[in-house]
């Protein structure tokens, strides 16, 4: 596989990153990457996460590859330093920063941007005392900050930040915090190998955690960490689809994320990790990677791809044959079934959401029933893909899931909602940002409300293929105005989800006509051969 695919994909994003950057040295927002703030002026504070974009610029400056017009360009170096200094200028007095609302003090944004600033500063050999004082202040804040929700990738990011800065400043002041957070990361790893991300296993964020831990292991070799990484890599290998795509809506956070750098680092002592990247590169070559080129999430994959190019190992193992059989991750509630020329990836805890591949091609992606329902003077959405506890039965040739639909999270911001949030944050929330974050997480991610619809999904293997029946029951169908099954629906707020991937070109299965003549209590029945 060609390592240059990683560089090509990443370098293609640099012009957009530069468009997002205020490059005017005489501007009061010189170095700001939040174009909505400095240029459009449609928000009232800059996102601290955006300053992470200094790292892909620094790496582009340092990447000597074909068709890279940014290599060794002095202007890029100047803009990187300006971005670091703007991160310092726009931070709160305690070193923290905001991401989505004022006084949020977002741990993820603080960690991502600090890591980017430290690595860029070191890579370019900068010498700036203002930047160093800012790094130390933010690290002090991160060392003592505990955010709501279990996000292992954030914990690993913070450990990496503290270790890198400890070496840069030659200090041991964060040693205790590093140990505590690394212990937390290890304790949040399932016996199946995956790391907790809110409500379960997300293979996408899992690869980011591997990337951070692999870098930490380079700096701090430890047998427990090595064993945890090896187990995590073994698990990640199971989620590379036969066409080279990765992850999707059957995972806890609905992401197609894939961060390759960690597998190159781990490949130095575990060669089979390199096979994961080789299989992903096949998908990358065939345009199966998702699009992350929006203003907020463009940075993560850009810097990680460039790191993968930089640390790419030229001696690769022979391609591994895909194993057959069944992998049932009971804690994650994900079932992977490989037989003959079919591969099924199914989430038991999401009502049977699945992807099915046949002859190395995606043939079906299914995110369960979705209904539009009139409730009072509103139109609500009842879906079958929210993480929940369902009644399941799994045998060798049959899978059954029974449960209840839930109301999708479709809350939108309005002028009144935004005004209320601003007032709350200015008066009260600025002192208790974690409480506000916890309430928003429950509202947008973890909270569940049942809808009065009951489903039964049954899949069985017969005559060399999977068959599927779906049944849906309602006391009354009168309020249902539309029904269908989509291939890429999700209903919780996740920053890195709902990106476009070529497999999402599958058509919507419209079931509206089927429900029009159903009597109260009558079952909607659907049978498919897939």
* Interaxial angle between packed helices 54-62 and 4-11, expressed in degrees from 0 to 180 and rounded to the nearest 10: 130
Shared-domain flag, residues 502 and 359:
yes
- Would 25 be classed as within a structural domain? yes
- Would 324 be classed as within a structural domain? no
Asked which of 253, 277, 310 is the last residue of a domain, the reply is 310
Shared-domain flag, residues 302 and 354:
no
By C-alpha distance, which of 200, 201, 198 is closest to 150?
198
Instruction: Calculate mean pLDDT across residues 485-503.
Output: 91
SS (H, E, C) 194-263: CEEECCEECHHHHHHHHHHHHHHHHHCCCHHHHHHHHHHHHHHHCCECCCCCECCCCCCCCECCCCCHHH
Written as six digits, the tokens of 450 are: 């049942």
Shared-domain flag, residues 386 and 260:
no
Shared-domain flag, residues 267 and 215:
yes
Q: Are 209 and 232 contacting, i.e. CB atoms less than 8 angstroms apart?
A: yes
- Would 323 be classed as within a structural domain? no
Shared-domain flag, residues 520 and 377:
yes
Shared-domain flag, residues 101 and 190:
yes
- Would 353 be classed as within a structural domain? yes
Q: How many contiguous H segments (helices) and E segments (strands) does the chain have?
A: 17, 16
Torsion of CA 123, 128, 131, 132, to 10 degrees: 90
Shared-domain flag, residues 252 and 372:
no
- Would 233 be classed as within a structural domain? yes
Torsion of CA 475, 480, 484, 485, to 10 degrees: -50
Shared-domain flag, residues 354 and 436:
yes
Shared-domain flag, residues 266 and 141:
yes
Q: Are 280 and 320 contacting, i.e. CB atoms less than 8 angstroms apart?
A: no
**Residue 439 pLDDT > 80:** no
SS (H, E, C) 284-345: HHCCCCCCCCCCCCHHHHHHHHHHHHHCCCCCCCCCCCCCCEEEEECCCCEEEEEECCEEEE
Q: Which residues form the domain of 225?
A: 4-310
Q: How confident is the model over 509-521, as pLDDT tens digits?
A: 999 999 988 988 8
Residue 13: strand pairing partners:
none
- Would 315 be classed as within a structural domain? no
Q: How confident is the model over 186-218, as pLDDT tens digits?
A: 999 999 999 999 878 999 999 999 999 999 999
C-beta neighbour count of 296 within 10 angstroms: 17
d(CA 399, CA 396): 8
Instruction: Using the Cα atoms of residue 87, residue 93, residue 96 and residue 102 in order, give the sign of their dihedral.
Output: negative
Domain of 125, CATH number, reads 1.50.10.10
- Would 158 be classed as within a structural domain? yes
In the prediction, which pLDDT does 442 show?
66
Shared-domain flag, residues 294 and 344:
no
d(CA 142, CA 105): 10
C-beta neighbour count of 2 within 10 angstroms: 12
Q: Are 214 and 265 contacting, i.e. CB atoms less than 8 angstroms apart?
A: yes
Enter the pTM of the model. 0.95
In the prediction, which pLDDT does 178 show?
97
Q: How many structural domains comprise the chain?
A: 2
Q: How confident is the model over 8-60, as pLDDT tens digits?
A: 999 999 999 999 999 999 999 999 999 999 999 999 999 999 999 999 999 99
Shared-domain flag, residues 303 and 339:
no
Written as six digits, the tokens of 37 are: 């703030």
Residue with tokens 């293997």: 461
Shared-domain flag, residues 197 and 81:
yes
**Residue 413 pLDDT > 90:** no
- Would 316 be classed as within a structural domain? no
């Amino acid at each position: 596989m060609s390592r240059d695919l990683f560089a090509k994909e990443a370098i293609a994003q640099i012009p957009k990153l530069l468009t997002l950057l205020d490059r005017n040295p005489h501007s009061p927002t010189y170095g700001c990457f939040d174009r909505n703030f400095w240029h459009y002026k449609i928000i009232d504070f800059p996102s601290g996460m955006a300053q992470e974009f200094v790292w892909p610029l620094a790496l582009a400056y340092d990447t000597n590859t074909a068709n890279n017009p940014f290599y060794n360009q002095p202007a890029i170096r100047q803009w990187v330093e300006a971005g670091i200094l703007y991160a310092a200028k726009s931070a709160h007095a305690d070193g923290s920063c905001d991401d989505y609302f004022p006084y949020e003090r977002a741990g993820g944004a603080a960690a991502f941007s600090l890591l980017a600033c430290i690595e860029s500063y070191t890579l370019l050999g900068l010498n700036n005392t203002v930047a160093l004082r800012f790094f130390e202040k933010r690290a002090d804040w991160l060392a003592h900050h505990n955010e709501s929700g279990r996000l292992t990738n954030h914990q690993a990011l913070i450990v990496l930040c503290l270790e890198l800065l400890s070496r840069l400043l030659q200090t041991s002041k964060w040693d205790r915090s590093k140990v505590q957070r690394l212990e937390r990361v290890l304790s949040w790893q399932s016996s199946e190998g995956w790391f907790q991300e809110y409500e379960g296993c997300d293979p996408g964020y899992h690869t980011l955690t591997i990337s951070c831990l692999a870098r930490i292991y380079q700096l701090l070799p430890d047998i427990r960490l090595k064993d945890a990484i090896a187990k995590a890599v073994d698990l990640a290998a199971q989620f590379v689809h036969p066409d080279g795509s990765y992850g999707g809506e059957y995972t806890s956070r609905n992401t197609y994320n894939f961060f390759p750098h960690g597998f190159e680092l781990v490949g130095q002592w575990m060669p089979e990790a390199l096979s994961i990247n080789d299989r992903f590169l096949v998908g990358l070559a065939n345009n199966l990677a998702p699009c992350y080129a929006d203003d907020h999430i463009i940075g993560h994959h850009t810097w990680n791809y460039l790191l993968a190019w930089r640390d790419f190992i030229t001696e690769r193992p022979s391609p591994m044959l895909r194993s057959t059989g069944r992998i049932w991750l009971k804690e994650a509630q994900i079932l992977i079934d490989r037989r003959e020329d079919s591969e099924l990836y199914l989430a038991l805890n999401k009502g049977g959401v699945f992807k099915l591949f046949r002859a190395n091609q995606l043939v079906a992606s299914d995110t369960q029933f979705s209904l539009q329902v009139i409730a009072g003077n509103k139109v609500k959405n009842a879906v079958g893909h929210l993480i929940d506890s369902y009644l399941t039965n799994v045998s060798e040739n049959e899978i059954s899931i029974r449960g209840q639909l839930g109301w999708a999270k479709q809350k939108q911001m309005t002028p009144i909602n935004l005004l209320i949030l601003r007032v709350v944050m200015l008066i009260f929330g600025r002192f208790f940002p974690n409480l506000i974050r916890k309430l928003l997480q429950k509202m947008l991610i973890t909270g569940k409300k049942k809808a009065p619809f009951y489903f039964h999904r049954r899949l069985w293997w017969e005559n060399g293929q999977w068959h599927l029946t779906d049944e849906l029951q309602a006391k009354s169908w009168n309020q249902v105005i539309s029904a269908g099954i989509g291939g890429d629906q999700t209903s919780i707020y996740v920053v890195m989800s709902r990106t476009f991937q070529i497999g999402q070109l599958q058509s919507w299965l419209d079931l509206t006509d089927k429900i029009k003549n159903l009597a109260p209590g009558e079952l909607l029945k659907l049978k498919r051969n897939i």
